Amino acid sequence: MRTVRVATYNIHKCQGMDQRTRPERIARVLEEINADVVGLQEVLSIHGHRPESDQAGFLAQALGLHFVHAEARRLHGGIYGNVLLSRFPIGSHDNLDITHVGREERSVLRADIPIDALHLHFFNLHLGTGYFERRFQARALMEHHVLNAPDLSGHRIVMGDLNEWTRGLVTRTLSEEFRRVDLEAPIFRRRTYPALLPFLHLDYIYLENSLRVRDAFFHTSRLALIASDHLPLVADVAL
C-alpha cells in the first residue's frame, strides 16, 4: 500500500526564534522532514531581490519540488500567503477567499494532485486570530463550497494553522467530516507554538475518513526549534 508523507508548517516568513530571517534554515528543516507534500503558511515572496527573498521559489528550488503560492495579501511589495510544495506534479489549483469583514485577508489554497491511481485534493489554510472571525471562517469552509465543492472527486486532506487552541467551531466542524491526525503522546507534547516552549496546539491535519494514518509526529530537531515560531506537524498517510 502506498504511503505519502504530508506536513504542515507555519514558517513565519522564515524568521526564527532568534529573530533572524533565514530561508536556508527552513529549507534544511524541510529536508529533514522529507515530506512528499507540504503546506506552508506565512510565506513571503518578493521578486527582483536576492533569491532568498522569493521564499516560495527559493524553498522549492532548494528541495527540487513543485510549488504553488496563493496570495492572501500584498506585503512589502511581495506576495504573502500559503504555499504548497509537492514531490508530485500539481494539477489544478485555486485560491479561495475566506476573509471576514474588517479583518486581515485570509484564503485557502486548494491544489489537486494525482498520485498513482488516486486523485487527492489538498487544502492549505491559515485562519484568523479572532473568535468571531474563526466562527465565520468555519461556516465559510463548508457553506461557500470550499471543502465540499461540487467538482471534488477524490480524497481530501486539510492542513494548516487554525489558530484555535481549544475545541471551537472550526475543529468541531472539521471533525464532523474528517478524521483528525492525533498524536499518541502526552498532552504537553501535542503543542506546536511557540516552537521552543510550546503551550498551544494551533497546527492540524485532517484526512478524509477513507484514509488512514500510519504515523504522526511533531518534528523537533534542534534546527526546527529555532527556525520558525511553529513546529512542523508530519503525518504518514496510507493511500
* pLDDT value of residue 185: 52
| pLDDT tens digits, one per residue of 113-141 | 999 889 999 999 999 999 999 999 999 99
What's 30's DSSP letter? H
CA 24 to chain centre: 19
Calculate what percentage of the chain has a pLDDT beyond 90.
82
| pLDDT tens digits, one per residue of 43-80 | 999 988 788 999 999 999 999 999 999 999 989 889 99
Domain range 3-238, CATH architecture: 4-Layer Sandwich (3.60)
**Do the beta carbons of residue 181 and residue 213 sit within 8 Å?**
yes
Burial class (CB within 10 angstroms; exposed 0-12, middle 13-18, buried 19+) of 19: exposed
Question: Residue ranges of the domains in the chain?
Answer: 3-238
Per the listing, cell 485562519 goes with 127
* Burial call 185-222: b when 16+ CB within 10 Å, e when fewer: eeeeeebbbbbeebeebbbbbbbbeebebeebbbbeee
Beta strands in 46-89, from DSSP E residues, in sequence order: 66-75, 78-86
pLDDT band of 188, cuts 50, 70, 90: very low
| pLDDT tens digits, one per residue of 22-44 | 999 999 999 999 999 999 999 99
**Bond into 194 cis (ω within 30):** yes
**Do the beta carbons of residue 93 and residue 67 sit within 8 Å?**
no
| pLDDT tens digits, one per residue of 138-182 | 999 988 779 999 999 999 999 999 999 888 899 999 999 999 998
Of 204, 137, 196, nearest in space to 166 by CA:
204
Q: What is the pTM of this model?
A: 0.95
